[in-house]
Chains A and B, each alone.
Chain A
Amino acid sequence: MEAGKGHLRIGVYVCHCGTNIAATVDVKAVADYAATLPGVVVARDYKYMCSDPGQELIRQDIEEQNLNRVVVASCSPLLHEETFRGAVAKGGLNPFCFQMVNIREHDSWVHQDHQKATEKAIALVRAAVRRVAFHKPLVKKRVSIHPDVLIVGGGIAGIHAALTLANAGKHVYLVEREPTIGGNMAKFDKTFPTLDCAACILTPKMTAVIKHPNITLWTLSEVTQVQGYVGNFEVAVTRHPRYIDEDLCVGCLECIEGCVYKQAKVPDEFNLGLGKRKPIYISFPQAVPQIPVIDRETCIDFKSGRCKKTCIEACGDRHAVNLKQQPKLETIKVGAIILATGYQPFDARKLPEYGYGVYPNVYTAPEVERLINASGPTGGEVTLRDGRKPQAIGIIHCVGSRDENTNKWCSRVCCMYSLKLAHLLKERTGAEVYQFYIDMRAPGKAYEEFYHKLLEEGVHMIRGRVAEVTDWPMTKEEEGKLVMRAEDTLISFVRRIPVDMVVLSVGLVPQADASDVRRLFNISCSTEGWFLERHPKLAPVNTFTDGIFIAGACQAPKDIPDAVGQAGSAAAEAMVLIDTGYVEMEPNTAYILENECSGCKTCVPLCPYSAISFLGDKKVAQINEVLCKGCGTCVAACPSGSIKQNLFEDEEIFEEIQGVLA
């Protein structure tokens, strides 16, 4: 097919789109005008071009009228460019000999003057007709997909995605930076609304991960570099030393017993500092892998070099303790990546009026989870710091949520977990429980019913945000207590409630290094710091970077059912890539005319996708078609004009401009 006016046979189709376009633009007039343009052999208007009969029109005309170019004037290419390209291809014509004109979002939907709108539509169609004459047939390039998947983050979302993919026969790398998988869920005691023990429902999945032949589990590991593109990622992972050889350890935990520290002295991260551990430790009894870790910051041998190393002795014949272990650098190739890095709880010290860190008996909800948990620092006894049992407990909702001074969003799970804690605390201690909320958000399945169950238990529901937690008394009953002052808005009275223990229902915030992680993987974060999805409603697990998916709380605060749902969805998306085996690239890439390239290297550093490299021997630049996203920067920057872009050739653009201005 020759570009050039002599051989042109162009078909123009103007869509009514019901009344979306036709109510403002005189579509018949546009079609009539188009018929007068040079090269146009057929011009039609039709009610719904995207419908089957509409597409059939195109196919039929191509066959019967020997069309070699097609223009459709309708809605946004984002919606139907693929549809019409498909119709064109069905008619036997190369799908890129097609140009779409947007006379809806760019015309009928933004203008009110009918005459002017019609004139604009005519100008746009004229421009497209002139442009399409210069379109060349193009072919979508196929790139193969590496069949392995990398999942970053071993919380419930990461675990579920890993198991789903592994069960489908895919090989998965699961990289987790803590010594154990399980994430935040492993720290919970019970989960709402079923009051299932969190560990009981989580640990079977955790053991399934470690037993699965298709999952390579790397804990105490972090991704340090990501290169490549969809289907062909090259990832560098640093496996930090735990100073215990994973292949030799059998998980007997004798080394922990044998440590020179007879008492645990180091604040325990898993128990949020409420408990103590030794320098050699395992996070919690059901940790996966069941292999201890030595913390070099607190281990005497690392700090002073002088220790009896009774841990090695205790290990005996297995010789699993290896204090000389070095970090291991692994490089893996994967086709898709799923980020499931989760959240962290809000730091309650940012709200000094609640006295966290000042009054010893003010706790955050995660801390209370550990207190209630049987394998927690107090063995499940809920006591105050001085050992007394609390007689009255106050729970404050929305700490660090729904607040312009800290975080604007609602953290979605706190109302439910506060109700859960109220239930557990009442059960465990028999104390009077006061719940201070603003709105009770119970949107999930069986959540409202759970709320009703709590109402029946006699928890005091006070609708009002607490202003302050203080220790100065107004009455005798308040002496020695923490006083919570709030307006009970449902009765419009200010109330002072003396309690022994205050629980702050802290919200969910992005991980501290979320913005570093997103840069590492070349995805975006929203303004609040959560990973950005491609579309909040229709593509919540996709990102704007092909091949990289997100799942779980790292995308936005959510509860476990939603995290698991998203994990499955992300796994499915990854599977689509892998099972298809290839991905097709839009052929709007830039290309360099080697003969004209002067080797000035202006383009090389400009490419935001690092797609341009310089060939030292030939002294010319070269564009990697697969990395190129067709942004056009290099095309515009090249001083010698030797970079061109498919679908955006100079002639195409100039003709379009001429067409509009004519």
Chain B
Amino acid sequence: MAVKSLIKYEVERDPDFAQWVSHVIGGERIRNCIQCGLCSASCPLSPYMDFTPRRLMHMAREGFKRDVLGSFTIWLCTSCYSCTVECPRRIRVTDIMYALKRRAIEDGVYPRRFPIPVLASEFRGMIRRNGRVTETWLVFLVFMKTAILRLLGMSKLGTKLLLTGRMGILPETIRDRKQLQNLLDDVEAHRKEVAA
């Protein structure tokens, strides 16, 4: 029986992180949270989360950065917005989850070969290159990088998709890729000013 002390000391709190959370887009009202639990109650994914959304919100605004960014919760969010529309304090929980995802990716806090950040990264790469996403190639790339064996297990489904014509082979692209790249380059260069 491995016994561990779970007490939290004040030095563990990261006030900068707490401050950052309340300044992200959608995070303005996080201090208004009364911990009613409606977000957790309405979230279809909450039974699977290690910290329920409500619990995560309080930990985030208190500054427990490691627990928050290392949680399973932020990756389970499917952005269905149930929490956001129900919250009696009008806190945009979904947007805060997005911000935490972004921060976790930026800080590199996630298990290696964890599919979700890999998916996001490949998605972005594909758009940067082509302007559009070809689902087949996206899925292929993600599985190659994270769970190559599962890819083999999906061959039956893959065949069905191929036969029903739902598997796009040729990559979709836009014509004016330069324009999109200029746009995204410029925005990426300046986006830090938005504190996102």
A residues sitting closer than 8 Å to B (CB atoms) are 353, 398, 402-405, 438-439, 463-468, 485-489, 492-494
Contact = CB atoms under 8 A, between A and B. Distances in A.
B121 interface: no
Given A492-B55, A494-B52, A464 B86 contact: no
Given A467-B86, A487-B41, A492-B52, A438 B36 contact: yes
Contacts, number: 65
B42 interface: yes
Given A487-B52, A492-B52, A494-B52, A467 B42 contact: yes
Interface residues of B, number: 20
Contact of B46 (A398, A468, A494): A494
B78 interface: no
B66 interface: no
Contacts of A404: 88-90
20 contacts: A398-B36, A405-B90, A438-B34, A438-B37, A439-B34, A464-B40, A465-B37, A465-B38, A467-B42, A467-B86, A468-B42, A485-B41, A486-B37, A486-B41, A487-B40, A487-B52, A488-B37, A489-B52, A492-B51, A494-B43
A489 B51 CA distance: 11
Contact of B88 (A403, A485, A489, A494): A403
Interface of B: 34-38, 40-43, 46-47, 51-52, 54-55, 82, 86, 88-90
Contacts of B52: 487, 489, 492-494
A12 to B, nearest CB: 50
Given A492-B52, A492-B55, A402 B37 contact: no
Nearest to A401: B88
A414 B54 CA distance: 24
Contact of A487 (B46, B82, B90): B46
Given A467-B41, A492-B55, 12 more contacts: A398-B36, A402-B88, A404-B89, A464-B37, A464-B38, A465-B41, A465-B88, A466-B41, A467-B42, A485-B41, A487-B38, A489-B36
Nearest first, the 4 closest Cβ-Cβ pairs linking A and B are A467-B41, A487-B40, A467-B42, A487-B37
Contacts of A465: 36-38, 41, 88
A11 B36 CA distance: 62
Given A465-B41, A468-B42, A487 B86 contact: no
Nearest to B82: A467
Contacts of B35: 438, 489
B88 A405 contact: yes
Nearest to A489: B37
A512 to B, nearest CB: 23
Contacts of A487: 37-38, 40-41, 46, 52, 54
A353 B83 CA distance: 13
Contacts of A466: 38, 41
Nearest to B55: A492
A401 to B, nearest CB: 9
Contacts of A489: 35-37, 40, 52, 54-55
A466 B51 CA distance: 18
A468 to B, nearest CB: 7
B49 to A, nearest CB: 9
* Interface hub of B38, B52, B90 (most chain A Cβ within 10 A): B38
A407 to B, nearest CB: 10
Contact of A463 (B37, B47, B55): B37
A402 B34 contact: yes
Nearest to B85: A405
Contact of A494 (B36, B47, B89): B47
Given A487-B54, A492-B55, A494-B40, A353 B86 contact: yes
Nearest to A404: B90
Nearest to A407: B88
Nearest to B86: A467
Contacts of B42: 467-468, 485
Tell me which of A402, A405, A493, A494 has the highest count of chain B C-beta atoms within 10 A of its own C-beta.
A494
A506 to B, nearest CB: 15
B167 to A, nearest CB: 34
A486 B43 CA distance: 10
Contacts of B37: 438, 463-465, 486-489
Choose among A463, A488, A492 the residue with the greatest number of B CB atoms under 10 Å from its CB.
A492
A523 to B, nearest CB: 30
Nearest to A490: B37
A341 to B, nearest CB: 28
A172 B42 CA distance: 53
A467 B36 CA distance: 10
A464 B36 contact: yes
B156 to A, nearest CB: 29
A628 to B, nearest CB: 46
Contacts of A488: 37
Nearest to A463: B37
B38 to A, nearest CB: 4
Nearest to A351: B86
A488 B40 CA distance: 9
Nearest to A488: B37
